[in-house]
Amino acid sequence: MSLVVQKYGGSSLADADRIRHVARRIAAERATGSSLVVVVSAMGDTTDHLIELAGQITRDPDPREMDRLLATGEYQSCALVTMALHTLGTAAVSLTGAQAGIRTDTAHGRARIANVDPARILRELEAGNVVIVAGFQGSTADSHSAGEITTLGRGGSDTTAVALAARLGAERCEIFTDVEGIFTADPRVVPEARLLPVIGYEEMLELAHQGAQVMQTRAVELGWVNDVEIAVRSTFSDHPGTRIKEDPDVEQRNKVRGLATDRNVAKLTLVAVPDRPGIARGVFAPLADAGINVDMIVQNVGHAGATDLSFTVPRSDLVRARRLLEPIVTEMGARELTVDDSVAKVSIVGAGVQNAPGYAARMFGTLADEGINIEMISTSEIRITCMIGEAHLEKAARALHRAFELERPEAGVPAQAH
């Protein structure tokens, strides 16, 4: 049996017309004879609306109750997509994340999938149904009365889709969204950005980590670990999009594959903190416990027994991070905690970037030529990230896109390699 997993994002399901359009796509795929599992996000801005409603009630919602609230968006869309399929004469059934066998840990709001029990899905496929699964969610145990609903964090429906594709041994996993695929840069920032027909898992992971919001990073990780080839495609066209896969051609290509830009970043600095063991743990452990991701970290050379410690957090977590850190700062005898939320990150990503020193030099040189000051630098095996003033982000991205000739198709990779 040839099994396909598809996922449709919220903008693809924003109203009844779009839901009907998605249903027609699903029915057409089903008509080719594939068995189909379809993961859906909440309609349009439903999740944002629910977050706003909770915000009108409390600044600090209980994570369990928040998950109960947010999980309802996907319940609604999966019931509606199923109804739309019925009008087309396509047998279909909706399942909640819990019913679809998505078992998670207990970290409400950012739960990780522990395992997938496919029994119910397999039974429904066997019965000839297209199975519509509520994305973004799971439950901590099998039973209604013992299990708690959890959500997987923003973009979690991608993770649901890839986890199901892995567990079910799907032939294809298609992520349908409102863009045509993965681009060399965000086309809203760099108009000459080019669609990538193929990208490696690791490259995609770095791009996603550094602000490319097309896919949740955990979904890419899960695809990589389980060797699930993922297609990122547009709901509104027939373009084949971008395939995310283990990339054998990686060494033969331009080593910079893409550019990521990220405004959701803020810089915190502990000024004149005593330079002794345990300081870093004292700062970063409470942030980790609160689920706040620290990205770049720079510790200046100390003098007179004190040092400056700078790091970045998502700008959306800044208020929480500050509230957590302010008492600690006093406790550990630092002079003060300063905050800068007018910064941004620009990254170049490509297999082997780190091993070819010329790339770093070209990146720094390009920014210098544009008169842009680099405030922090971080690197991985396949990525170099510079923190700069947010005002310079677009200029930096365009200059780097040109400097690395990202608008030029790579040799040896046909534009539509399918």
**Positions in the binding site for a second copy (CB under 8 A):** 16, 19-20, 50, 53-54, 56-58, 61-62, 64-66, 68-69, 71-72, 75-76, 78-80, 82-84, 86-87, 93-94, 96, 98-99, 101, 117, 119-120, 139, 142-145, 147
Pick the closer one to a second copy by CB: 108 or 315.
108
Rounded least distance, CB 117 to a second copy, Å? 7
Rounded least distance, CB 161 to a second copy, Å? 19
Rounded least distance, CB 92 to a second copy, Å? 9
Pick the closer one to a second copy by CB: 71 or 343.
71
Pick the closer one to a second copy by CB: 21 or 263.
21
Q: Scanning the structure block, which residue is given the tokens 């899960």?
A: 222
Rounded least distance, CB 292 to a second copy, Å? 21
Pick the closer one to a second copy by CB: 68 or 362.
68
Pick the closer one to a second copy by CB: 63 or 302.
63
Pairing of strands 130-134, 35-40: parallel
Rounded least distance, CB 131 to a second copy, Å? 13
Query: Residue 124 class from Cβ within 10 Å (0-12 exposed, 13-18 middle, 19+ buried)?
Result: buried
Q: Any bridge partners for residue 267, and if so which?
A: 312, 340
* Beta strand ranges found along 225-366 (DSSP E): 230-234, 242-244, 258-262, 266-274, 297-299, 306-313, 336-340, 343-349
Full strand arrangement of the beta sheet holding 376-380 = 258-262, 343-349, 383-389, 376-380
Rounded least distance, CB 134 to a second copy, Å? 9
Pick the closer one to a second copy by CB: 24 or 172.
24
What's the CA gap between 172 and 65, in Å, rounded? 35
Encode 227-246: b = buried (16+ Cβ within 10 Å), e = exposed: ebbbbbbbbbeeebbbbbbe
What's the CA gap between 63 and 58, in Å, rounded? 12
